[in-house]
């Protein structure tokens, strides 16, 4: 599997907390670039992805660093979309969102999601998935192996065309389960339920970390294929594990909004507007 240098891989680790990522051995993901503590643009899957697909990726407003602080300089700047930041973006796109903008430049846009917000049989998901050339909804949060097989087939079909490949990973989402896990996979076994009395923060941490290790190993070939291209890895939001008495996500809480962010940006899209930093690799 090979990709054109200006291709993008965009991975969202659904619900993955920053501290889980920081503390877990995930060598393949951590090789993408320096780990940044960032703040998500939304507190649940739909809102956060809508914002990210419009160019509002997670960021840290306290650092004056391109792309890590989207207010300082965005990765994807949509022409006509809000106030222009002061520094040059990685690329400026025309269109209704990032996906449409890259397609207008000749990209093949393929994606796969695992949580219900990506169920393309429902009208509520159309804002997220309608602009992809091909999109596959996994149907549950523990199908990473099948999602990767889908992406490999679609990427191989692109030939010499650049690709925008999007992957929403569900294993790090409740109930925190992966293929072959040593704990049960059932709604009753979920250790993180809103308003429940039998939640277990230590078990949440153990399970999400184990899921992240599983994900990291599974992603090695895909990450390797994009080593010479552009890669964005982040979470769309985190989860609260009993802090201030709250659990899960869909609420404004610091542990829900605090997420990991890793970037490797090397080759801007050919034909995109703006003066991008060709060859700049964050942290390299």
Would you give per-residue pLDDT tens digits along the chain (284 residues)?
Answer: 899 999 999 999 999 999 999 999 999 999 999 999 999 999 999 999 999 999 999 999 999 999 999 999 999 999 876 665 568 999 999 999 999 999 999 999 999 999 999 999 999 999 999 999 999 999 999 999 999 999 999 999 999 999 999 999 999 999 999 999 999 998 788 999 999 999 999 999 999 999 999 999 999 999 999 999 999 999 999 999 999 999 999 999 999 999 999 999 999 998 776 543 333 333 33
Residues 6 or more apart whose Cβ sits within 8 Å of residue 188: none
pLDDT the model gives residue 86? 67
User: pTM of the predicted model, to two decimals?
Assistant: 0.94
Whether residue 172 contacts residue 16, with contact meaning beta carbons closer than 8 Å, is answered with: yes
Q: How many CA atoms does the CB half-sphere of 76 hold within 13 Å?
A: 27
Map residue 10 onto helix, strand or coil.
strand
Output the CA–CA distances (angstroms, integers) from residue 109 to 54, 132, 266, in the order listed: 15, 5, 19
In the numeric block, which tokens belong to residue 117? 């917000």
Helix or strand holding residue 160 (H, E)? none
pLDDT the model gives residue 183? 95
Query: Which string of DSSP letters, residue by residue, matches 162-228?
Result: -EEEEEEE-TTSTT---TT-SS--SGGG-S--TT-SS--HHHHHHHHHHHHHHHHHHHHHHHHHTTT
Pick the CATH number of 8-35+43-53+96-261 from 3.40.50.1370, 2.40.50.140, 3.40.720.10, 3.40.190.10: 3.40.720.10
Q: What are phi and psi of 164, to 5 degrees?
A: -110, 105
pLDDT the model gives residue 87? 83
Map residue 8 onto helix, strand or coil.
strand
């Amino acid at each position: 599997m090979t990709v054109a240098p200006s291709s993008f891989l965009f991975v969202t680790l659904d619900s993955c907390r920053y501290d889980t990522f920081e503390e877990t051995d995930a060598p393949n993901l951590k090789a993408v670039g320096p780990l940044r503590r960032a703040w998500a643009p939304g507190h649940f899957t739909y809102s956060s992805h809508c914002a990210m697909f419009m160019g509002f990726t997670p960021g840290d407003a306290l650092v004056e660093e391109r792309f890590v602080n989207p207010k300082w300089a965005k990765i994807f700047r949509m022409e006509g979309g809000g106030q222009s930041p002061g520094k040059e973006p990685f690329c400026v796109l025309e269109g209704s969102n990032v996906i449409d903008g890259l397609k207008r430049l000749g990209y093949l846009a393929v994606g796969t999601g695992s949580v219900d917000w990506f169920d393309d049989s429902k009208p509520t998901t159309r804002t997220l998935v309608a602009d992809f050339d091909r999109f596959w909804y996994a149907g549950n949060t523990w199908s990473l192996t099948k999602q990767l097989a889908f992406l490999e087939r679609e990427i191989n079909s692109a030939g010499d065309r650049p690709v925008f490949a999007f992957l929403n990973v569900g294993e790090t989402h409740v109930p925190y389960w992966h293929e072959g896990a040593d704990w049960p996979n059932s709604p009753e076994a979920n250790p993180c339920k809103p308003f429940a009395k039998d939640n277990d923060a230590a078990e949440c941490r153990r399970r999400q970390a184990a899921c992240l290790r599983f994900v990291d190993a599974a992603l090695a070939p895909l990450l390797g294929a994009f080593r010479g291209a552009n890669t964005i890895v982040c979470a769309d939001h985190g989860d609260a594990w009993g802090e201030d008495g709250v659990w899960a996500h869909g609420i404004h809480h610091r542990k829900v909004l605090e997420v990991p962010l890793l970037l490797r940006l090397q080759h801007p899209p050919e034909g995109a507007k703006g003066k991008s930093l060709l060859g700049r690799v964050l942290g390299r």
